[in-house]
Chain A
Amino acid sequence: MLGLERKDTLLLIVVAAITLFAPIILNPFPAGSALAQFNAGYPDLMQRFVIFGIFAIGFNILFGLTGYLSFGHAAFLGIGSYSAVWMFKLLSMNVIPAIILSIVMAGLFALVIGFVSLRRSGIYFSILTLAFAQMSYNLAYSVLTPVTNGETGLQLTLSDPRILDGASTGGLPVTSLFGAEMRDTTTLFVGPWSWDFSVGYYFSAALMLVAFYLSVRIFRSPFGMMLRAVKSNQQRMNYTGLNTRPYTLAAFVISGMYAGLAGGLLAAMDPLAGADRMQWTASGEVVLMTILGGAGTLIGPVLGAGFIKYFENIFSKINDGILHQWFAFMPDGLENVMVAVIHPFIGKGWHLTLGIMFMLVVIFLPGGLVEGAQRTGRLFRRRDRNADHVESDAARQRAAAE
């Protein structure tokens, strides 16, 4: 189906089903219950899951296939966001032109930066991309403020021209897709549960599925094969008289465009583009997402993106008050001990928990979360041990390449 092999089609269908029912899957606990704290099924976070999923899928096309570790991919995310917000300011609140422009702009920047950076390989390439991204960040924060609005971030104002929409009166206009407002949300109450279905989420999710499908096609294409060959031994490729640079550059530009799409979507969901999006920590984040989920696997980066965003948004919000609520059933002394033990890891300590998680995953699951899932899977169905699985296939290729 769709030019995919059976197992890839299966994977795509599973991913599509999960994204379709995400509002329900991510809200497993009844609202108002003590565990509702762990619910992640509210529009903003779900949108972030899929948008950063796109970002990581794109990064994986570069890193997972070619092995080139870019440490400046967040620059393209930022460029995408700025382009989109400018489109909202100047042209129209419709998200289509904004997203098109963000992909194009990110692609152009990726072409230039990639052309220069790909002249070097290994860590020299990483530092070149890092340098470009940090330069963009520093300039966006200070000197380029007329374009980027610096520290605050570029945002909409009432006085923007918006040529197609005309001047706005009253409140600020909202982003929409031909009239369907991105922020529109329908809440469904079933028993004690409540599920939010938001237009913005489904729009982003649809684009993520397209992005995912394209990445599967790239992974399985001769082009993808060529990129893998670059990863395993570039020198040998060169000796055979083949110039690999156009291939790696194409991969770089494609993954830059993915980042631009993600940036544009971020702005479409919430029309503000901050310079922080381009900082090296943001670039580092997508590296972490990809490796954490499983670099070179198809679904890994999406898992990694979800994992990190979940921590950032859920764990940081747990405070001592909530802890006391959880352990309220215990005798007072024990309750206080439990709270004191858990306290350093939640709320303002979420960075600590994240750091420990990284270390555990990297130490014990070199293939990332995907490998963890496979191991668990193998435990349960020993008979299928030899079955050829899509992900193990990719993971093995990764292992072989190193």
Chain B
Amino acid sequence: MRRQNFSRRGLLKTGAVGSAGLALPTIFTSSASAFTNAPTGSSVTLGFNVPQTGAYADEGADELRAFQLAVEHLNGEGDGGMLNTFSSKALDGTGILGKKVEFVTGDTQTKSDAARAAAQSMIQKDGAVMISGGSSSGVAVAVQGLCQEAGVIFMAGLTHSNDTTGKDRKANGFRHFFNAYMSAAALAPVLQNLYGTERKAYHLTADYTWGWTQEESIAAATEAMGWQTAEKVRTPLGAGDFSSYIAPVLNSGADVLVLNHYGGDMVNSLTQAVQFGLRERQANGQDFQIVVPLYSELMARGAGSAIAGIPGSQNWDWKLEDEGTKAFVKSFGEKYGFPPSQAAHTCYVQALLYADAVTRANDFNPCAVVEALEGFEFDGMGNGPTLYRAEDHQCFKDVVVVKGAENPQDEFHLVEIVEVTPTAQVTYAHDHPMFAGGALGECNPGA
């Protein structure tokens, strides 16, 4: 973050609220306008709520970079990035509906409480009309609930739990990122190709909501293709030393270890599993294998050479070959000097999708935006043809299956793409049992 080139012009704030208040003392109640934080001046404020402290701070920093890039492109600065490849041509680089895009930032601390406080302050103090970002499902669900109540749109950042668009789905909330079910559905055929159908899996699962949905999804998908499940073991979040959980794996009769961990837990459990020599071992006459269903390329760096050959899934990878990806990687890479992470990609796309929806609806009203996004089909954003499904506000698109590289040329080539799983294979019914129990409710414009 130290060497960034900010365009000064892009940051000068227009006294939108100030000019509104310059009139004689008058009393307004908050219900004066049709919806929460209706932009009145020549600019519109978006709120980017990312983890800036805590374990996911680096991911948050990358999300913030992507948001800044998106704002530049929306305001017609820079090379336009994915605006040039986006199938919808409503955006023309003059901000949103002619209003210049400004943004405020907040720190989620990866805690539901702090994230809600930060979002509240952006809504109440800064007049944000949309909140985006985040790097964990707990935070996403909590902030999504808040946005629903406050009457602003929530464009989820990195959140992978089924619940975000499952039992905790909300009318004002939208998720572009994929989920645990999709990971499992994309990964299972690849695992079958790599390791066959005669396998016995041992699950180590982070003991909280995301871990459980990940475990449930991957176990169901692998069992469907003939694998057996030897054991499902829950590990405390942030355990650090996983030796007591890894040691019994060797004797359990299992021949695949599935690590349903993310972030620091993933780095540690994977490194330690490799240290225990699991991968040099034979079990049931086959080589022992390790699988990490959800990859985070930023965090994978922390595991170093331990990830070589380990399969997993990603929402997107900068090495994809389509035009949208190339355009985004080019503008991001030229601005910051390194390729974007999948967290950055999803946040960038979400910001653009929101702006596009507002433009098509010709209205900032959350209900109009919801209507414009529901059932919206688009392309050119890096994942092929994509649908924002109306029933649960989840994006359906291709999923990338990756594998740790054996000899990476640099730290950006730690994973290589194995397969791009087509949309059809990861699509599920909106009332699928793993996503049941929730209701979108009605969109809430607030005020």
A complexed with B: yes
A contact residues vs B (CB 8 Å cutoff): 30-34, 39, 42-45, 48, 138, 141-143, 145, 149-153, 155, 158-159, 170-172, 174, 183-194, 196, 270, 272, 274, 276-277, 312-313, 316-317, 319-322, 324-325, 328, 340, 343, 347-348, 350-351
State whether A30 touches B118 (Cβ < 8 A). Answer: no
7 residue pairs bridging A and B, Cβ less than 8 Å apart: A32-B21, A153-B113, A155-B168, A170-B441, A186-B30, A319-B64, A348-B53
Taking A189-B26, A189-B27, A194-B21 as contacts, is the C-beta distance between A316 and B107 under 8 angstroms?
yes
Contacts of B18 in A (CB 8 A): 30-33, 192
The reply to whether the CB of B340 lies closer than 8 angstroms to some CB of chain A is no
Q: Report the Cα distance A184→B64, complex, angstroms.
A: 32
- For chain B, residues 99 to 118, give those with C-beta under 8 angstroms from any C-beta of chain A: 103-107, 111-114, 116-118
Interface of A is mostly: mixed
Number of B residues near A (Cβ < 8 Å) is 68
Residues 6-42 of B, flagged 1 when their CB comes within 8 A of A and 0 if not, give 1010011101111111110111111000000000000
State whether B236 touches A138 (Cβ < 8 A). Answer: yes
Q: Which residue of B lies closest to A343 (CB)?
A: B2
Contact of A317 among B22, B29, B104, B148 (CB under 8 A): B104
The reply to whether the CB of B121 lies closer than 8 angstroms to some CB of chain A is yes
Contact of A194 among B17, B52, B439, B441 (CB under 8 A): B17
State whether B209 touches A274 (Cβ < 8 A). Answer: no
State whether B53 touches A351 (Cβ < 8 A). Answer: yes
State whether A189 touches B236 (Cβ < 8 A). Answer: no
State whether B137 touches A151 (Cβ < 8 A). Answer: yes
Of B138-146, B184-192, B345-353, B387-395, the segment with at least 4 beta carbons within 8 Å of chain A is: B138-146
Q: Which residue of B lies closest to A172 (CB)?
A: B149
- For chain B, residues 415 to 447, give those with C-beta under 8 angstroms from any C-beta of chain A: 439, 441-442, 444
Contacts of B116 in A (CB 8 A): 270, 272
State whether B111 touches A274 (Cβ < 8 A). Answer: yes
Q: Which residue of A lies closest to B22 (CB)?
A: A192
Contact of B25 among A149, A151, A184, A191 (CB under 8 A): A191
Q: Report the Cα distance A159→B439, complex, angstroms.
A: 9
Q: Report the Cα distance A187→B36, complex, angstroms.
A: 13
The reply to whether the CB of B124 lies closer than 8 angstroms to some CB of chain A is yes
Q: Report the Cα distance A192→B19, complex, angstroms.
A: 7
Q: Which residue of B lies closest to A188 (CB)?
A: B27
State whether B149 touches A152 (Cβ < 8 A). Answer: no
Q: How far is the CB of A148 from chain B (nearest CB, A)?
A: 11
- For chain B, residues 267 to 310, give those with C-beta under 8 angstroms from any C-beta of chain A: none
The reply to whether the CB of B244 lies closer than 8 angstroms to some CB of chain A is no
Contacts of B28 in A (CB 8 A): 187-189
* Number of residue pairs A-B, CB distance < 8 angstroms: 187
Q: Report the Cα distance A185→B447, complex, angstroms.
A: 10
Q: Which residue of B lies closest to A186 (CB)?
A: B29
State whether B145 touches A141 (Cβ < 8 A). Answer: no
Contacts of A42 in B (CB 8 A): 120-121, 124-125
Q: Report the Cα distance A170→B441, complex, angstroms.
A: 6
Best-buried of B137, B138, B234, B442 by chain A (most CB within 10 Å): B138
Q: Report the Cα distance A44→B116, complex, angstroms.
A: 10
Best-buried of B21, B60, B136, B236 by chain A (most CB within 10 Å): B21
Taking A150-B208, A276-B111 as contacts, is the C-beta distance between A324 and B53 under 8 angstroms?
no
Taking A152-B141, A324-B11 as contacts, is the C-beta distance between A48 and B208 under 8 angstroms?
no
State whether A274 touches B21 (Cβ < 8 A). Answer: no
Contacts of B92 in A (CB 8 A): none
State whether A325 touches B444 (Cβ < 8 A). Answer: no
Q: How far is the CB of A345 from chain B (nearest CB, A)?
A: 13
The reply to whether the CB of B230 lies closer than 8 angstroms to some CB of chain A is no
Contacts of B137 in A (CB 8 A): 151-152
Q: How far is the CB of A343 from chain B (nearest CB, A)?
A: 7
Q: Report the Cα distance A347→B113, complex, angstroms.
A: 18
- For chain B, residues 150 to 192, give those with C-beta under 8 angstroms from any C-beta of chain A: 163, 168
Q: Report the Cα distance A2→B150, complex, angstroms.
A: 40
The reply to whether the CB of B237 lies closer than 8 angstroms to some CB of chain A is yes
The reply to whether the CB of B61 lies closer than 8 angstroms to some CB of chain A is yes
Q: Which residue of B lies closest to A335 (CB)?
A: B8
Q: Which residue of A lies closest to B23 (CB)?
A: A189
Taking A48-B117, A170-B442, A187-B29 as contacts, is the C-beta distance between A141 and B53 under 8 angstroms?
no
Q: Report the Cα distance A55→B193, complex, angstroms.
A: 58
Contacts of B113 in A (CB 8 A): 153, 272, 274, 276-277
Contacts of A317 in B (CB 8 A): 104-107, 118, 121-122
Contacts of A155 in B (CB 8 A): 141-142, 145, 168
State whether A44 touches B124 (Cβ < 8 A). Answer: yes
State whether B52 touches A185 (Cβ < 8 A). Answer: no
State whether B114 touches A312 (Cβ < 8 A). Answer: yes
The reply to whether the CB of B1 lies closer than 8 angstroms to some CB of chain A is yes
State whether B207 touches A142 (Cβ < 8 A). Answer: yes
The reply to whether the CB of B210 lies closer than 8 angstroms to some CB of chain A is yes
Q: Report the Cα distance A351→B15, complex, angstroms.
A: 30
The reply to whether the CB of B251 lies closer than 8 angstroms to some CB of chain A is no
State whether A313 touches B117 (Cβ < 8 A). Answer: yes
State whether B149 touches A174 (Cβ < 8 A). Answer: yes
Q: How far is the CB of A211 from chain B (nearest CB, A)?
A: 21
State whether B21 touches A30 (Cβ < 8 A). Answer: yes
State whether A151 touches B441 (Cβ < 8 A). Answer: no
The reply to whether the CB of B90 lies closer than 8 angstroms to some CB of chain A is no
State whether B146 touches A270 (Cβ < 8 A). Answer: yes
The reply to whether the CB of B409 lies closer than 8 angstroms to some CB of chain A is no
Q: How far is the CB of A311 from chain B (nearest CB, A)?
A: 11
Q: How far is the CB of A282 from chain B (nearest CB, A)?
A: 9
State whether B2 touches A152 (Cβ < 8 A). Answer: no
Contact of A43 among B105, B124, B136, B163 (CB under 8 A): B124
Taking A316-B52, A347-B52, A348-B57 as contacts, is the C-beta distance between A325 and B11 under 8 angstroms?
yes
State whether A274 touches B112 (Cβ < 8 A). Answer: yes
Contacts of B22 in A (CB 8 A): 191-192
Q: Which residue of A lies closest to B14 (CB)?
A: A32
Q: Report the Cα distance A236→B304, complex, angstroms.
A: 61
Q: How far is the CB of B349 from chain A (nearest CB, A)?
A: 22
Q: Which residue of A lies closest to B102 (CB)?
A: A321
State whether A171 touches B208 (Cβ < 8 A). Answer: no
Q: Which residue of B lies closest to A315 (CB)?
A: B107
State whether A191 touches B21 (Cβ < 8 A). Answer: yes
State whether A152 touches B138 (Cβ < 8 A). Answer: yes
Contacts of A196 in B (CB 8 A): 124
Contact of B442 among A159, A171, A189 (CB under 8 A): A171
Contacts of A187 in B (CB 8 A): 28-30
Q: How far is the CB of A309 from chain B (nearest CB, A)?
A: 9
